[in-house]
Structure 1
Amino acid sequence: MSSSSDSPIDTPLFDHNVFSTSETQSEPRVDSRVGSDEIVPKIEEHELELADVKTEPTADDPPISPTEPVRLRRGRGRPRIYPPRSPTTSKNAKARSKTGCTTCRKRKKKCDETKPFCMSCQKNNIHCEGYRPIEVWKSGKERAAEARKMSSDVAFQLPPLMEGVENDLDRLLLQHFASRVSNVLSLHGDETNPFTRVLLPMALKHEGLMHSVLCLSASHLCSLNPSQAYEDRQAFHRGKALHLLNQDLARQKAGQEGTMIFEDSNVAQILVHLLHSICDGNTSGEYRMHMVAAKQIAMTQKSKDPEFQCLFDEFFYYHWIASEITSLDGTEVPMMDDFNLPFQVNPETAALIGVSDGLFGFISKISNLRRRIRSRIDNQLNPAMDYEALLAAHAIDTGLRGWVCPQAPNTPRYAVSMLYRQATWVYLYRTTKDSHPHPFIKAAVDDGIRYIKDLPADGAVQSNVLLPLFLLGCSAFEEAQRMEINFAFNGLMKSTGLGNIHFAKEVVDRIWELMDAEDPESWDWEKFIHSKGWDFLAT
């Protein structure tokens, strides 16, 4: 038997110590024991030797050595270029942000979370729906407690009982109209007041009229106690009232003769807006557009309700004639030959003094006479008091001297009615006489002041005092008379709170300055009011 060195069985197929790296990559080696013609195949290098591969330890096997690392089995396939990410890093990369905008979350796009609208949506010209509110986590016990609290705190709002009366402030305005405004605008201070007996029930059935009433009440409250809340509510109700009035008028149909027929509720709205210009103290002539509409109604139609028709006639003609005292744009009011108005009002139920007793018939005639004299002066015609004007003045004076007061003596109505008679004569004197002091005008003004003193300071009759007080004030040449006139103006402001009183007093103050300067134009206060750009009612 051959030696162990010559045995082919003991000879290894390859030796790691013999082959180097360079030899491995060279041509196949020829064994000396083999013929030169025999080719030995090339042996490929393996990454791991069989001897190096160890079985993977299990959980039950003890560790091989405390210092020897555990070798893990490498997965099959080609090795990764980069090492795999750790489980923590992979989880964070896959997590979706919950703070992005709603649009990006729906589109599954990354959001830059710019607020209030993200830039990503703006760059892509997409409507950004914004961000959801942050929800604070609450336990089930807390959510249940909140649900029980919300169910116990639910309070259902009651619908409005009356159309137009929407909140607590409106209810206050309605109460103020019934208890205070109605007394300021009428001689009646009880249940016989035409505003609470006739007009207010109509407002309860008509939303537009209710808004008009609340606007008037808010205006009066503003004059008594200026407040932004009252002003805002006044503007709101005024806008709603005018809007609904225009809607109603657009639906109205013309009568048989082609004239528009107005419903009583719309006529009442026009009357209330006319009174609103008085409470508001408006000097821009806003009342005139309502006056024109009311004039058309008075000349073309009559209401089926006699009480409302009487209320409308009395208040319209009163303010129409009174407007001639403070304006140059007056037009002659149609009168009968005996100075009476073209309708009848019972003096006992009348809401205003001057209309029911016929005194406003005289006042209207005096206003026509003033326009005639003013025209002759402007045209430099002499004399200013021509023959026709003299006859007209004589007829008015004769009628006033024969006038009999229809009110019961020793009553507030009697005192205010006699005050109107005195102021009417003063109006006639200042129209026809030169502007300088005289015993006649002094005596007439003194008597008028006595009637004012006889009136209760807080009574309903104060609603009729402004017009005669204005006429007496424009005729007071004496300093003592002016002190009494100032006192009466201050009391009237406190008792009524009407916004036009301040402007009437300013006109009187200016006329006093002209009187003291012996200006012959001091009789023509209408020109001064016109020069100021004012147009208001002294009622």
Structure 2
Amino acid sequence: MLSMQNSPLFAHPDLNGTGLQDEGCSGAPLHNLPTGISGIRASTSSTSTGASPDDTSTDSPDWNGGAGRSPPADLDMSMNHFDPSHEYILESRISEMDEVPKVEELDEEDIQSIKPSDVGNRDDSGAPATVPRKRGRPRKHPLPAAGNQAKVTKGRSKTGCITCRRRKKKCDETKPACLNCQKNAVVCEGYPPKEIWKSGRQKMADAVLTHSLAAVPRNLPLLIDGIETDIDRRFLDHFVYGFSRVLTLINDDSNPFKEILLPMATQHRGLMHSLMCLSGSHLSGLDPEPKLKERKYFHFHRAIQDLKDNITASSSKGDDQDEQLLVEDPIIASTIALSLNTICEGETNGEYRPHMDAARYLLVSQQPRNEKFRQFIVEFFQYHDISNALTSLDRRPALVSGGLHLPDFVPGAQAGMFLGVFDGLFNYISEITQLRDRIRQRFNEGYEPAVDYQTLSEAVQVDTAIRTWKTSHEEDTPNFFLAQLYRQSTWVYLYRTIRPSRPSEKISQVVDDGLSWLDRLPQDAGAYSIVLMPLFLLGCSAFVAEQRERIQKGFETLKSYSNLRNIEPAFKVVTRVWEIMDTKIEESWDWEKIIHDMNMDFLIT
């Protein structure tokens, strides 16, 4: 033991800070100490400060500097009583202290079980021990320090109500409605449904099944081309049950628009678009819903495009097939339906002209194939073409010749859908229009008198024919009353043509008689569908104020029945004729010129 104490390895440090020296020998440098002793020194420093071997603590004693400082008592004692057998034990403990202990995370229960304690938190001198920072990335939620009961913060609840999760607020998860939403006076939207847990393989199988089902078409094909949406079905119902009855005298199931044109349209997409456009135009006048107008324009453009496609297809083929393709019955019907659309729209700028010209060309050049459709379409065109000549200066009626010559085309008036065509009355109206054109030409050229002997002779013949004309409709029926109204208005048209424009008892009497026949018509009679033309002629010949009031009432009744928008411009023309009658009575004779000066051109049917 004395030899070990005298060994230079266990020399005491110099109090003056000059290094470790032996009591009887010269001092040896500190860096020459053996490895074992330096390890003891590091272990002692680490134990006293509580720091890791790699860290440097400001509280650890400096054995090389500082006067009056001495090594710890425990180290001095170990030096004085050192046993060689303890060297291996010291080295093993020093190596254990060099290893970084494994840090395990504590759960909530372990954290709560921690009790405050001062053991190990202070060094021998009584000062608080410095806890070194652990290596690595700091924890997002650091563990509570020893001796302190830290408050544990929870993350946002993922099972809260939808409102709280959207507002990013903590939810108390009270069901059915959370108290947090009730306290803040907001509507609690409840809780999202719980999903069934599925493995990755099950989710993949569900995704494949969903994708395969999406690729399968679910829509059924259209039953009828042109009837695609709910609005189209509404147009169809309005056409069948409402609109078709205001187009002809017949308003039952034998109506030609329902019996002939509609079945034909189910086989021809273009004709169906034309009829749906026609029905949509009339319905949009009753219900100004934007969707109805939008769909109406859709059918109009599709109908026009279909006609262009048919014409293009026919022109791309030979001349032998050209006439055959153009004269298809649905194409002729489409032109007629589009011309009627201008009536429903109330268009007054001649929009009907291209459609009427196309129908005129097809009917004059070729004949429709279906016999029943042939009778209807020729009568329909003749009625509108001759009536249009009453209000236009440049549109003269086309007299169809050959097998479609009128009125010998049909053996009886009962076959007609319009009054005056098959029974010959419209032939007289057409002749009066020709006399009117001749008188206007002679007046413009300065001839006196404007009515020459030839014109007067032809007028007398027409007058005789009108007087002897009789309708085949049964008496005391709406159609019989309408026939008498047409007869009166035709005679008024003849009288106003060959006589100067001035009031007289004759014209006043005929106008009164015509209005009396009009008053006898029931307000729901189908005869009101073709009352506009004779009412217009009576209005242009009403010199008496009382007659004008009755004429105005007739226009209002007609408007409430059919709701066709060409009635209003027709009454506007009549009102203008009355104004000219009261100021320049002689100019009121030529109402065609008055309409031209008003920049109006429309069908008066």
Deviation at 1:297, TM superposition (A): 0.3
CA contact 2:240–2:258 (8 Å) conserved in 1 = yes
| 1:43–1:291 distance in 2 versus 1, CA, 3 Å | same
Matched, 1:291 2:351: no
Deviation at 1:432, TM superposition (A): 1.5
Match in the other structure for 1:86? 137
Q: Deviations over 1:128-156 (max 9, x none)?
A: xxxxxxxx98632599xxx9xx9xxxxx7
TM-score, normalization by structure 1: 0.75
Matched, 1:430 2:496: yes
Structure 2: distance between partners of 1:381 and 1:45: 151
Match in the other structure for 2:252? 190
Structure 1: distance between partners of 2:507 and 2:343: 29
Match in the other structure for 1:121? none
Match in the other structure for 1:17? 14
Matched, 1:320 2:375: no
Structure 2: distance between partners of 1:141 and 1:443: 91
Structure 2: distance between partners of 1:233 and 1:329: 34
| 1:8–1:501 distance in 2 versus 1, CA, 3 Å | closer
Asked which structure has the greater CA Rg, the reply is: 2
Q: Which runs of 4+ in 1 moved over 6 A?
A: 18-21, 44-48, 69-72
- Name the stretch that deviates more: 48-57 or 225-234: 48-57
| 1:44–1:334 distance in 2 versus 1, CA, 3 Å | farther
Match in the other structure for 1:360? 426
Structure 1: distance between partners of 2:505 and 2:5: 169
SS at match of 1:348: helix
- Structure 1: stretches of 5+ with no match in the other structure: 25-31, 34-39, 75-81, 92-135, 151-155
Write the letter of the residue equivalent to 1:375: Q
Deviation at 1:465, TM superposition (A): 0.8
Write the letter of the residue equivalent to 1:330: R
Query: What RMSD, in angstroms, separates the aligned Cα atoms of the two structures?
Result: 3.9
Matched, 1:380 2:431: no
Equivalent in 163, 173, 186 of residue 225 of structure 2: 163
Structure 2: distance between partners of 1:10 and 1:332: 147
Structure 2: distance between partners of 1:172 and 1:398: 50
Deviation at 1:269, TM superposition (A): 1.0
| 1:65–1:183 distance in 2 versus 1, CA, 3 Å | closer
Structure 2: distance between partners of 1:249 and 1:336: 26
Deviation at 1:88, TM superposition (A): 2.2
CA contact 2:311–2:326 (8 Å) conserved in 1 = no
Count of aligned positions = 457
SS at match of 1:356: coil
Deviation at 1:222, TM superposition (A): 2.3
Equivalent in 356, 362, 366 of residue 301 of structure 1: 366
Write the letter of the residue equivalent to 1:467: M
Structure 2: distance between partners of 1:201 and 1:486: 39
Deviation at 1:504, TM superposition (A): 0.7
Structure 2: distance between partners of 1:160 and 1:257: 30
More RCO (CA 8 Å, sep 6+): 1
Q: Deviations over 1:479-530 (max 9, x none)?
A: 2221221221111111111110111111111111111224211011111211
- Name the stretch that deviates more: 249-258 or 525-534: 249-258
Structure 2: distance between partners of 1:476 and 1:269: 38
Structure 2: distance between partners of 1:157 and 1:288: 41
TM-score, normalization by structure 2: 0.67
Deviation at 1:385, TM superposition (A): 1.9
CA contact 2:270–2:306 (8 Å) conserved in 1 = yes
Equivalent in 209, 225, 231 of residue 271 of structure 2: 209
Equivalent in 493, 497, 500 of residue 563 of structure 2: 497
Structure 2: distance between partners of 1:166 and 1:188: 29
| 1:302–1:333 distance in 2 versus 1, CA, 3 Å | closer
Write the letter of the residue equivalent to 2:601: D
Match in the other structure for 1:218? 280
Matched, 1:532 2:598: yes
SS at match of 2:415: coil
CA contact 1:261–1:301 (8 Å) conserved in 2 = no
Structure 1: distance between partners of 2:226 and 2:397: 39
Alignment of 1:271-290 (within 5 A): 271-290=336-355
Deviation at 1:326, TM superposition (A): 1.0
Q: Deviations over 1:344-400 (max 9, x none)?
A: 133112110111111111111222222222233333333322344333323322332
Structure 1: distance between partners of 2:307 and 2:322: 20
**Seq. identity, %:** 38
Matched, 1:329 2:394: yes
| 1:422–1:15 distance in 2 versus 1, CA, 3 Å | same
- Structure 2: stretches of 5+ with no match in the other structure: 44-93, 102-117, 143-190, 199-205, 211-217
| 1:258–1:264 distance in 2 versus 1, CA, 3 Å | closer
Matched, 1:50 2:39: yes
| 1:13–1:449 distance in 2 versus 1, CA, 3 Å | same
